Chain A
Amino acid sequence: MSESVTIGKKSREDQTAGEHGKCMLNRRQFLMYSGATAATASTVSLTLFPGTAKAAQAKARVVGYPRKLVGKLSEMKDNVPAVINYPDDGKNSMATMVKTGVKCGGGVGAQRDLVAFSALCTHQGGPLLGRYRVVDEHRIMGSCPLHLSTYDVTRHGIIISGQAYESLPQVLLELDGDDIYAVGMMGLIYGRNQNLMSDTTES
């Protein structure tokens, strides 16, 4: 499955976005619908941002995501998480990057197993650093020490059990040789009103 599948079926919003934003949206669709149903992405993209006002905002934000070097693939060992910051070094930017050893939605690398997620529970901001769990073939973030929410690392951070009203925001990764780049974010980081905030420099 390559990105060209979705690029060929982009929505009107995609076409009006900037060059980087166009790439981002398609990558988002690609990640979201990777696996068995990737071919349905084109019909889905029309409902990406149901409100017109929102659609405009979304494009603006997507354009702004930085491309940030966050690690080396050769230094990642299976199931040993690393802490990264994205999209900035400000408050609430901590994220967990992990090579899971199993194929994951949005995973990069030969095994499609390298993923990264915000380290804050989207329920009430509980800390998830150090809460990565391997149970048989499952890869789980949590439980959150505050209210026990758990998230499925193999499935874009969807809630397994618990209280959160959105998936754990997934940091979109790219590989350039051995270099791992973070290039975008799916979902709103807990505590922020938008992922890219101008005044978040102090941590």
Chain B
Amino acid sequence: MATNYYLPEDSAPLPPKHADVLTTACDYCIVACGYKVYRWPVGSGDGGPMASENAFNQDFPASALQNWVAPAQHNVVIHNGRPHNVIVVPDKDTEAVNKNGDSSMRGGLLAAKCYNPKTPTRDRLTNPLVRINGTLQPVSWDFALDIAAEVGRYVIKNHGANAYSVKTFSYQYLENTYAIKKYARRNVNTASFTFHDTPSDVTSTPGFRDAGFDNFGPSYDDWGDADVLQIHGTDPYETKTIIYTQFIKPAIERGMKTIWLNPRETAGIAYANSKGPDQTIHFQLTLGTDTVLMGAIARVICENGWEDSDWVKNWVNSKWETSSGFGQGTRNTPWQWRTTWGMFQVKGGFKGYSKWVQSKDEYKVENAAKICDVPAADIIKAAEWLTNKGKGTKASFGIEKGYYWSNNTGNTNAVSSLATICGAGGRPGQVVGRFGGHQRGGAGGGSYPRNKSPEKRPGRRRRSLDTDRYLISGHTRFAHVIGTTWIQAMTGSQSLYSKFHELVLANPNQVNSYDKQEIIETLKRRADSGGMVVINQDIYLRDPIGARFADVIFPAATWGETDFTRSNGERRLRIYNQFYDAPGQAKPDWWIIAGMASRMGYEGFDWKNANEVAEESSRSSRGNRKAYHMVKVAAHREGKTFHEKMREFGTTGIQGPTVYNYKTGELTGTKRLHDTTITEEMCEKRGVYQGANMTNKKMTHFNSQTGKVNIQKHPWKLFSDFHEWLSPKGDELWFSNGRINEIWQSGFDDVERRPYVTQRWPENWVEIHPDDAKARGIESGDQVMLYSDRVVESKDTILGVHGDDFQFSTLMKNGHLKFTKAAVTAVAVIAPHLKKGMMYGNMLDMRQPNNSLQNRVVDQISGNYNYKMGVAKVKKIGESQYKKEFRSMSWAPRNVI
């Protein structure tokens, strides 16, 4: 890796009047702030400090909140073959998201991600590579694609489509994801297909899906329009920064109450806590007990009759309304065939739920307080706040990974039911949703061939193939990995690494020829002998997936290097304009996929540019949350392309689903989904029912057969045996992991190449509570070993037969799980803002992946990993270099306000 020191500079060029100005949005987190790119040729003269001398039309020195250029916001790139200065700064004129030009640290450093061989980006992949005699060597596109495609085709023919596994990002622009899905799902037609953050292609929020809530229904305004906002498993200041600073913080200043479920107190929570216990409740609960806390709050509400009675009367399904196809209707076959519904279906609508939640001992306040380790009085206070003791209030509920990746099904069921009885879900300021992780760049290019999956729940329903279990079982012969590490991003990473090693490197069939046909034959022999061939598309060489395992590497072009389209966490679609030349021979992923597809003999991949892909994909968006088909319709009627039309919307973009009024020619976006205050007349006026418009019931109703909410049970017993087994024994501590503001959602890209970030967080770190640290003789800056011999992992691909076959204790009893050891090192940070008895580490340092210590056993209903809960022991192994120097890291707490 390139040298990567942060050395503060004391000047930055201002863009001159003659600079080109282009809009884009941040490449990183879900919020997707609007940015402007100023570009001018090197040597053509920089701007001056007078308003008459610069492109900002502003005098310098600037005042607070005005345009300013930090040194790291400038870079030099190649545009049309010539060097150009670029400045990437938050758009002060934007009307949405980062109003007034607010920005996060990640977005603030966007300019640094541009390829420039003088910076740490110099190791960008710029050539296709083929591994010959153990070394990745530059080759032509034809050479690399011919090999990959012929071996891939051979594997499909001789070992079946499921032997061709595709592991891909879900988010990196709809042009790419459309091409990838069209290739992998429609044409290869493999069930061994999944995204970067899950072993199988499943919903992240099963409880939302079953209730009828879209993950991203709310608008950002809604988060600030509530009277009470309950935030689960995240501090949006740390992650989703601008939602916090632009929407939540001003609302807290106005008096909005907040309720937090988070074992840490980071800055956003500390700020809320600074308003005192009459405005803030902070549940620092034991990891994985959220379902119990939700149940207890719901129980208090039900016991007192504080529910929003009008809402539950009008908007909650009765039992018979939920009987057909899981409440989704008989035509929806996958639902119909799911046989676990009885565990969640409520008999008698709200009344049935009320009766059920009051029948469960674990949801009694005093019991829940004990299980969750939180004050009982706060549970009652939360119930009072969320309902204003039955007098009604505006309550909203936002969740993220700390919540839904700890008891995935139970937690998402529980929040759906609690929100529903509080009247949330379908009105302004009364919403339910995810805050979000990556931006939403998925587009449908083909449906998942579920019936080809060999995995099945007890009963009749097949479940999506678990690509990790399948690989561990030795069935995967060809791994096509696109923009993800695969290994470190999954739990139990170290044994997954061992299996990759066995299948790829320990196999005797290694390429030692420069002859294309000989290379192909060698790789075919590897697949035939039970080994695995790996091809990898990415922007940097990742270790180990690319650096150690890949036989063929395809260099990808990314943000700023070609035109792309994507939406954010409130379904806001923007174009991300190309503003410089992709490095070397790097090509966008859709182009690479097209090269594979045409060689495999698949038709319909002859796109000439990104706009053609986007236009082809628009049809598949109809009816979904970010439906952009009507943008294309409008564009074509105006004689423009889709991308040209999107460009007109600048950083403000347009919120999906988009609606085109054929009579007035007006194209409009949709502020929120499930908005029950929208009438049919309003829709009519907007043009919702005209022509090719198709919005589905989610615009004004919920995603169920009747359009009403399925209130659900959230049985603790589905998870309690695992929780009990996992709970720390002896010297163990809980070990969770997650994002941190300075790194959040840039790890997939260039985090280790931005000097300021690597100075702050140069390597893996772990927060330890002062009491736990003292007991183990650990101080801030010590190097520690985190280790466990109690990491359990699924060892085979199995079929469920009996009802409880996938219950953790049954899997254990029947020998489907095995114990493995794992260890990672980290730099200790003593953190008084953390709950005692737990540790918290970086979500993914590729060199020391904390996921190694998380169990590789999936949620029995959904198939997701519960990434956020594990246990580990910790011991000091020495002192890091950072302990006594002043250059890197900081030991100061994150909750100082």
Known: A124-B102, A161-B894. A57 touches B887 (CB 8 A): no
Docked pose: A92 CA to B890 CA in angstroms: 26
Hey, which chain A residues are within 8 Å of B109, CB to CB? 165
Known: A125-B66, A155-B886, A200-B61. A165 touches B756 (CB 8 A): yes
A-B pairs with beta carbons under 8 Å apart, 29 shown: A32-B7, A50-B119, A54-B9, A90-B61, A105-B886, A127-B64, A140-B892, A143-B897, A147-B245, A148-B245, A148-B249, A148-B897, A156-B887, A159-B742, A161-B741, A165-B70, A165-B72, A166-B70, A166-B71, A167-B6, A169-B8, A186-B10, A189-B61, A190-B64, A191-B61, A191-B63, A191-B64, A195-B11, A197-B61
- The interface bits of chain A over 32-44 (1 if a CB of B lies within 8 angstroms of the residue's CB, else 0) are 1111110000001
Hey, which chain A residues are within 8 Å of B11, CB to CB? 57-58, 61, 188, 193-195
Q: Are A150 and B267 interface neighbours, CB within 8 A?
A: yes
Known: A47-B5, A195-B10. A105 touches B267 (CB 8 A): no
Q: Are B62 and A191 interface neighbours, CB within 8 A?
A: yes
Q: Are A193 and B49 interface neighbours, CB within 8 A?
A: yes
What is the size, in residues, of chain B's interface with A at 8 Å between Cβ atoms?
63
Residue ID in chain B nearest A53 by CB atoms: B42
Hey, which chain A residues are within 8 Å of B69, CB to CB? 193
Docked pose: A91 CA to B70 CA in angstroms: 17
Docked pose: A164 CA to B268 CA in angstroms: 16
- The answer to whether the Cβ of B391 comes within 8 Å of any Cβ in the partner chain is no
Looking at chain B's contact residues, the main secondary structure is loop
A199 in complex: contacting residue of B49, B102, B103, B119, CB < 8 Å: B49
- The answer to whether the Cβ of A111 comes within 8 Å of any Cβ in the partner chain is no
With both chains docked as a complex, state the minimum distance between the C-beta of B662 and any C-beta of chain A, in angstroms. 44
Hey, which chain A residues are within 8 Å of B73, CB to CB? 165
Q: Are A188 and B267 interface neighbours, CB within 8 A?
A: no
- The answer to whether the Cβ of B881 comes within 8 Å of any Cβ in the partner chain is yes
Docked pose: A148 CA to B65 CA in angstroms: 14
Hey, which chain B residues are within 8 Å of A104, CB to CB? 886
Using a CB–CB cutoff of 8 Å, the interface residues on chain A facing chain B are: 32-37, 44, 47-51, 54, 57-58, 61, 90-92, 104-106, 120, 122-127, 133, 135, 138-140, 142-143, 146-148, 150, 152, 154-156, 158-167, 169-170, 185-195, 197, 199-200
Residue ID in chain B nearest A48 by CB atoms: B7
Q: Are B759 and A158 interface neighbours, CB within 8 A?
A: yes
Q: Are B49 and A147 interface neighbours, CB within 8 A?
A: no
Known: A140-B892, A188-B11, A190-B68. A165 touches B108 (CB 8 A): yes
With both chains docked as a complex, state the minimum distance between the C-beta of A134 and any C-beta of chain B, in angstroms. 10
Q: Are B105 and A164 interface neighbours, CB within 8 A?
A: yes
Hey, which chain A residues are within 8 Å of B238, CB to CB? 161
With both chains docked as a complex, state the minimum distance between the C-beta of B311 and any C-beta of chain A, in angstroms. 35
Q: Are A150 and B896 interface neighbours, CB within 8 A?
A: yes
B13, B881, B887: most-surrounded residue (chain A CB, <10 A): B887
Hey, which chain B residues are within 8 Å of A140, CB to CB? 892, 896
Known: A148-B268, A192-B61. A158 touches B890 (CB 8 A): yes
- The answer to whether the Cβ of B760 comes within 8 Å of any Cβ in the partner chain is yes
Known: A187-B9, A193-B60. A162 touches B886 (CB 8 A): no
Residue ID in chain A nearest B14 by CB atoms: A193
Known: A150-B896, A158-B760, A160-B892. A187 touches B10 (CB 8 A): yes
Hey, which chain A residues are within 8 Å of B118, CB to CB? 50-51
Residue ID in chain B nearest A147 by CB atoms: B245
Hey, which chain A residues are within 8 Å of B883, CB to CB? 36
A33, A106, A148, A164: most-surrounded residue (chain B CB, <10 A): A148
Residue ID in chain B nearest A167 by CB atoms: B8
B887 in complex: contacting residue of A32, A61, A191, CB < 8 Å: A32
With both chains docked as a complex, state the minimum distance between the C-beta of A9 and any C-beta of chain B, in angstroms. 15
- The interface bits of chain B over 51-82 (1 if a CB of A lies within 8 angstroms of the residue's CB, else 0) are 00000000011111110111111001000000
B64 in complex: contacting residue of A124, A161, A194, CB < 8 Å: A124
Hey, which chain B residues are within 8 Å of A32, CB to CB? 7, 887
Q: Are A166 and B8 interface neighbours, CB within 8 A?
A: yes
Docked pose: A30 CA to B495 CA in angstroms: 45
Q: Are A192 and B3 interface neighbours, CB within 8 A?
A: no
Q: Are A143 and B881 interface neighbours, CB within 8 A?
A: no
Q: Are B892 and A152 interface neighbours, CB within 8 A?
A: yes
Q: Are A163 and B3 interface neighbours, CB within 8 A?
A: no
Hey, which chain A residues are within 8 Å of B5, CB to CB? 44, 47
Chain B residues numbered 80-105 whose CB sits less than 8 Å from any CB in chain A: 102-105
Hey, which chain A residues are within 8 Å of B9, CB to CB? 49, 54, 58, 187-188
Q: Are B886 and A146 interface neighbours, CB within 8 A?
A: no
With both chains docked as a complex, state the minimum distance between the C-beta of A135 and any C-beta of chain B, in angstroms. 6
Known: A91-B61, A148-B271. A105 touches B7 (CB 8 A): no
Q: Are A191 and B892 interface neighbours, CB within 8 A?
A: no
Hey, which chain B residues are within 8 Å of A50, CB to CB? 118-119
Q: Are A34 and B64 interface neighbours, CB within 8 A?
A: no
Docked pose: A20 CA to B483 CA in angstroms: 49
- The answer to whether the Cβ of B380 comes within 8 Å of any Cβ in the partner chain is no
Q: Are A163 and B60 interface neighbours, CB within 8 A?
A: no
Docked pose: A51 CA to B75 CA in angstroms: 10
Hey, which chain A residues are within 8 Å of B742, CB to CB? 159, 161
Docked pose: A138 CA to B64 CA in angstroms: 27
